[in-house]
Amino acid sequence: MASLNPAMNNLKQPEMPVDPLAQLKSILLTEDQQRIAELEAALAELKAQLSHKAQLIATLEPVIGEVLEKKIGDSKDEMARSLAPVMGAAIKRQIKDAREDVIDALYPIVGRMVAKAVAEAMKKIIANINANLNRTFKFSRWFRQQKARLQGIDPAEKVLADAFPFQLQRVFLIARDSGLLISYAGASQSGPEHDEAHIIGGMLTAIKSFMETSFAGSREGDLNEIEHSEFTIRINSGRYTYLAAVFSGVAGNELDEELRNLHIRIHERFHRQLRSYDGDNSRLQGIEQPLREIIRTTQHIDHEHTAAS
């Protein structure tokens, strides 16, 4: 009797042996085996990506921005703490390696900061000038203005000088040729500052020599003023020495006159020693006195002026 079931027919054919367990496995697990094979392939690909630097970067690149953004959003302080130690070094390195790029990047920001600082400073100046103008009708103010006029000082210059109060910081008396410091007086007379004065005397002379020989051409001339930051150095040259007065604020014309008179007084008393000056400051006892006086006098004038304003 022929069977209608082909499987039964197969069971009856001894020339084609079949492992029933394998057949059962095949029937039950084919789908799982395919999935395992797919997973193994995916795992191998993932391993390859992790071990291959370029592939890993390519994989992480699209999400790294988002990860950082999330981390910063979640805990800004923690991120700042972690990154702070390397930021300083990274900035220094970048400035060293690509200075021009850094300047280009900072230029607009710094420009705005400078503009803001200048605007603030201008506001202060305007406030000072306004305050001075408001006092214009006070009798003492009117009297001082008239006095300034009689002395030939421009009232506008006077207003400007009031806005930037003059303060004489230091006065140096320096040998004209050698640049050796003969005497010095400063608002503060601390040791190291006084010691440093010898180098300042030398460097001032070097700068003066450089300017006078480099830019004078065929004409002989003396350097009269150097400006740096809020400080100005006014120079008064004599025959054997020169005086350098360091001050802040606006100096009126009277400073030149004061320095000239000071120089004359010093030369009247010490001209013999100064003519043969050879680095021996013990032969010039008392020469510092007029320098101290000019510092004291200008401070006195300044205080008097402040008190009267």
Residues binding other proteins (CB under 8 A): 175-181, 195, 198-199, 201-203, 205-206, 209-210, 212-214, 278-282
| Shortest distance, position 233 Cβ to other proteins, whole Å | 16
Please identify, using beta-carbon distances, which residue of 255 and 274 lies nearer to other proteins: 274
As a whole number of angstroms, the distance between CA 72 and CA 80 comes to 9
Between 111 and 279, name the residue whose CB sits nearer to other proteins: 279
With respect to other proteins, which residue has the nearer C-beta, 202 or 249? 202
Contacts of 252 (CB under 8 A, 6+ apart): 153, 157, 158, 161, 166
> Looking at residue 15, what DSSP letter applies?
T
Q: Which residues contact 91 (CB under 8 A, 6 or more apart)?
A: none
- Using a 10 angstrom Cβ sphere, with 0-12 exposed, 13-18 middle and 19 or more buried, the burial of residue 69 is exposed
Q: Hey, CA dihedral for 269, 302, 183, 202, is it positive or negative?
A: negative
What's the farthest any 2 CA atoms get from each other in the chain? Answer: 153
Q: Least separation, in Å, of the C-beta of 177 and other proteins? A: 3
CB of 182 to other proteins, least distance (A): 9
Shorter beta-carbon distance to other proteins: residue 179 or 290: 179
C-beta of 125 vs 203, nearer to other proteins = 203
Q: How far is the CB of 212 from other proteins (least distance, A)?
A: 7
Q: What is the nearest approach in angstroms of other proteins to the Cβ of residue 308?
A: 42
- Nearest distance in Å: CB 291, other proteins: 17
Structure tokens at 194: 């006084």
Tell me the angle at which helices 20-51 and 53-74 cross, rounded to the nearest 10 degrees.
70
In angstroms, the CA 275 to CA 239 distance is: 9
Whole-number Cα distances in Å, 158 to 141, 145, 284: 11, 8, 38
Min. distance of Cβ 278 from other proteins in angstroms?
7
Q: Looking at beta carbons only, is 34 or 209 nearer to other proteins? A: 209
Task: Report the residue number, 66 or 195, with the smaller CB distance to other proteins.
Answer: 195
**CB nearer to other proteins: pick between 107 and 210:** 210
β-bridge mates for residue 227, sequence order: 232
DSSP reduced 3-state for 3: coil
Minimum Å gap between C-beta 128 and other proteins is 39
Question: What is the distance between the terminal CA atoms of the chain, rounded to a whole angstrom?
Answer: 136
Neighbouring residues of 200: CB distance < 8 A, sequence distance ≥ 6: 172, 181
d(CA 43, CA 39): 6
